[in-house]
């Protein structure tokens, strides 16, 4: 078999896996969903319920009556109140070494955070942002709110 | 309106116009551990390292303040009420160099299933550990074998495969620190985290 044929097969396999989502690793799971909660993934908006698995780049939104609680695979806990938009920008977690990277943005709303194994292993590895602020997380529990400034 | 946006765009070239007004409050740690959050905003830095230490951001500045449990409950009550239950950890112990459970461990398994039954959308993490007898490589393999054994046991008792993750930490995380090549029963274990 030629190298070209092998490459074509490999490319086809990668494409097939990407299509069926085989390689999309779970980064966390919605444990609590009250009121209206949705997840935006690759341009599609899906209603979210408890048990739903999350992936890197997902954006979790709550309605005016909604709230959501998420447990990440490193045991970080994130929970958002009504009218919140939370983007899970970057997430990686090695279950053998506990090395990883976690970056999330609260675009608006309220968020409670309990950091997990990623921040415990490497204090620089977890950041939580708003459009205006960057938080360095040194293994901890905190709350953050972001209120959009309206221009008139 | 145009002039305001123009002013903002011009200001953005110098220093970003704040898009949000933010409030950050450090909460006390349950075990009293020293922790901190470092707030970076508008080129300034505020470190929050005491319980209920807070920071508020303005158009182009950030200031520290002292918050309180009542203030936090008023502003963040709904977010805190949605917090998932804390993950709970159990230890299962093995006979040396083997993947055979000790007798006391069989009782812990019942507690684990009670915890699983009490949680919304539960999932289970199975992490294998070894003591420091043997090479790193063989311990990585042994720790994963122990974790996989427990995963199969949990599956045989009705937990879906998709709700169990198994991994091996080898000898990286001893419960009892020892010198290399010391046999230590408390380190030959599998940790089960229910979350």
Give A72→chain B minimum CA distance, Å: 10
In a domain, B70, yes or no: yes
What is residue B54's predicted lDDT score, i.e. its pLDDT?
A: 97
- Pairing type for strands A126-129 and A133-138 reads antiparallel
What is residue A96's predicted lDDT score, i.e. its pLDDT?
A: 82
Of B30, B65, B81, the position where a domain reaches its end is B81
User: Which DSSP letter does residue B59 get?
Assistant: S
- Which residues fall within 8 angstroms of residue B163, CB to CB, at 6 or more apart? B122, B123, B124
pLDDT at A29 over 90: yes
Are B69 and B103 contained in the same domain?
no
H or E segment at A34? strand A28-34
Q: Report the mean per-residue pLDDT for chain A.
A: 87
pLDDT at A109 over 70: yes
Give B87→chain A minimum CA distance, Å: 7
- Which residues fall within 8 angstroms of residue B5, CB to CB, at 6 or more apart? A151
- Which residues fall within 8 angstroms of residue A137, CB to CB, at 6 or more apart? A113, A115, A119, A123, A126, A127, A128, B37
pLDDT at B98 over 90: no
Indicate the residue of A107, A110, A149 with minimum beta-carbon distance to B75.
A110
Single pTM value for the model: 0.84
Sign of CA dihedral A71, A97, B177, B139: positive
* Interface mutation target, options B83, B86, B130, B166, chain A, most CBs of A under 10 Å: B83
Are B109 and B182 contained in the same domain?
yes
Burial of B102 (0-12, 13-18, 19+ CB in 10 A): middle
Are B97 and B77 contained in the same domain?
no
Measured between alpha carbons, how far is B65 from B63 in angstroms, rounded to an integer?
7
Of B30, B51, B81, the position where a domain reaches its end is B81
What is residue A4's predicted lDDT score, i.e. its pLDDT?
A: 53
pLDDT at A26 over 80: yes
Collapsed DSSP state (helix, strand, coil) of residue A123: helix
Measured between alpha carbons, how far is B83 from A68 in angstroms, rounded to an integer?
8
pLDDT at B10 over 90: no
In a domain, B72, yes or no: yes
Structural contact between residues A81 and A89, judged by C-beta atoms closer than 8 angstroms: no
How many CA atoms lie within 13 Å of B90's alpha carbon, on the beta-carbon side?
22
Whether chain A has a CB inside 8 Å of the CB on B168: the answer is yes
Burial of B67 (0-12, 13-18, 19+ CB in 10 A): buried
Measured between alpha carbons, how far is B173 from A141 in angstroms, rounded to an integer?
24
In a domain, B4, yes or no: no
Residues of chain B above pLDDT 70, percent:
90
pLDDT at A92 over 50: yes
Are B75 and B147 contained in the same domain?
no
Cβ of A96 within 8 Å of Cβ of B169? The answer is yes
What is residue B76's predicted lDDT score, i.e. its pLDDT?
A: 98
Q: Report the mean per-residue pLDDT for chain B.
A: 87
Measured between alpha carbons, how far is B171 from B131 in angstroms, rounded to an integer?
6
pLDDT-based confidence at residue A123 (cuts at 50, 70, 90): confident
pLDDT at A22 over 50: no
What is residue B17's predicted lDDT score, i.e. its pLDDT?
A: 66
Distances in whole angstroms, Cα of residue A136 to Cα of each of A122, A148, B116: 11, 21, 33
Sign of CA dihedral B143, B149, B152, B157: negative
Place of tokens 């922790």: B35
In a domain, B99, yes or no: yes
In a domain, B2, yes or no: no
Give B166→chain A minimum CA distance, Å: 9
CATH code assigned at B96: 3.30.1330.60
**What are φ and ψ of residue A109, in 5° steps?**
105, -155
Indicate the residue of A112, A139, A152 with minimum beta-carbon distance to B35.
A139
In a domain, B6, yes or no: no
H or E segment at B112? helix B103-117
Note the pLDDT tens digit of each residue in B153-170. Answer: 889 888 999 999 999 999
Residues of chain A above pLDDT 90, percent:
75
pLDDT-based confidence at residue B133 (cuts at 50, 70, 90): very high
Interchain CB contacts (distance < 8 Å): A and B: 171
What is residue A48's predicted lDDT score, i.e. its pLDDT?
A: 97
Are B39 and B99 contained in the same domain?
no
**Range of the structural domain that residue B29 is part of:** 17-81
Whether chain A has a CB inside 8 Å of the CB on B27: the answer is yes
Are B99 and B74 contained in the same domain?
no
Specify the number of domains making up chain B.
2
Cβ of A68 within 8 Å of Cβ of B23? The answer is no
In a domain, B52, yes or no: yes
ipTM, 2 dp: 0.84
What is residue B8's predicted lDDT score, i.e. its pLDDT?
A: 52
Are B32 and B118 contained in the same domain?
no
Cβ of A132 within 8 Å of Cβ of B28? The answer is no
Summarize the confidence of residues A26-47 as an average pLDDT. Answer: 97
Are B24 and B66 contained in the same domain?
yes
Of B53, B81, B109, the position where a domain reaches its end is B81
Indicate the residue of B20, B165, B195 with minimum beta-carbon distance to A108.
B20
- Which residues fall within 8 angstroms of residue A148, CB to CB, at 6 or more apart? A108, A131, B19, B20
> What CA dihedral angle connects A13, A17, A18 and A23, to 10 degrees?
-120
* Interface mutation target, options A135, A137, A147, A152, chain B, most CBs of B under 10 Å: A135
Structural contact between residues A101 and A71, judged by C-beta atoms closer than 8 angstroms: no
What is residue B51's predicted lDDT score, i.e. its pLDDT?
A: 94
Whether chain A has a CB inside 8 Å of the CB on B41: the answer is yes
In a domain, B94, yes or no: yes
Residues of A in contact with B140 (CB under 8 A): 96
pLDDT at A6 over 60: no
- Which residues fall within 8 angstroms of residue A144, CB to CB, at 6 or more apart? A106, A110, A111, A113, A128, A130, A133, A135, B22, B23, B24, B25
Are B108 and B167 contained in the same domain?
yes
Q: Which residue on chain A is closest to B22 by alpha carbon?
A: A146
Are B142 and B65 contained in the same domain?
no
Are B43 and B135 contained in the same domain?
no
What is residue A24's predicted lDDT score, i.e. its pLDDT?
A: 61
Q: Which residue has the higher pLDDT, B102 or B81?
A: B81
Are B103 and B141 contained in the same domain?
yes
pLDDT-based confidence at residue A70 (cuts at 50, 70, 90): very high
């Amino acid at each position: 078999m030629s190298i070209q044929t092998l490459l074509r097969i490999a490319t086809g396999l990668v494409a097939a896996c990407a299509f069926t989502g085989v390689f999309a690793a779970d980064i966390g799971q919605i444990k609590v969903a009250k009121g209206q909660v949705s997840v935006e993934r690759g341009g599609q908006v899906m209603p979210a319920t408890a048990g739903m698995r999350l992936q890197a780049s997902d954006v979790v939104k709550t309605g005016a009556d909604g709230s959501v609680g998420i447990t990440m695979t490193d045991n970080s806990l994130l929970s958002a109140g009504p009218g919140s938009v939370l983007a899970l920008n970057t997430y990686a977690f090695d279950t053998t070494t506990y090395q990883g990277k976690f970056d999330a943005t609260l675009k608006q709303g309220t968020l409670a955070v309990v950091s997990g194994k990623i921040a415990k292993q490497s204090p620089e590895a977890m950041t939580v942002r708003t459009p205006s602020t960057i938080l360095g997380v040194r293994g901890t529990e905190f709350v953050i709110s972001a209120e959009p400034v309206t221009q008139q | 309106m145009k002039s305001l946006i123009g002013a903002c765009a011009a200001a953005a070239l110098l220093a970003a116009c704040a898009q949000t007004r933010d409030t950050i409050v450090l909460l006390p740690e349950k075990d009293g551990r020293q922790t901190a959050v470092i707030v970076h905003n508008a080129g300034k830095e505020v470190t929050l390292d005491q319980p209920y230490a807070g920071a508020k951001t303005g158009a182009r500045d950030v200031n520290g303040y002292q918050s309180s449990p009542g203030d936090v409950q008023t502003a963040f009550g709904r977010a805190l009420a949605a917090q998932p239950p804390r993950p709970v950890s159990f230890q299962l112990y093995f006979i040396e160099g083997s993947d055979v459970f000790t007798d006391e461990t069989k009782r812990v398994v019942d507690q684990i299933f009670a915890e699983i039954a009490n949680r919304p959308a539960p999932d289970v993490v199975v992490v294998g550990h070894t003591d420091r007898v043997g090479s790193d490589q063989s311990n990585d393999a042994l720790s994963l074998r122990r974790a996989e054994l427990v995963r199969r046991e949990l599956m045989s008792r009705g937990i879906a495969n998709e709700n169990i993750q198994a991994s091996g930490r080898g000898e990286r995380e001893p419960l009892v620190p020892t010198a290399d090549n010391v046999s230590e029963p408390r380190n030959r274990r599998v940790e089960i985290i229910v979350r």
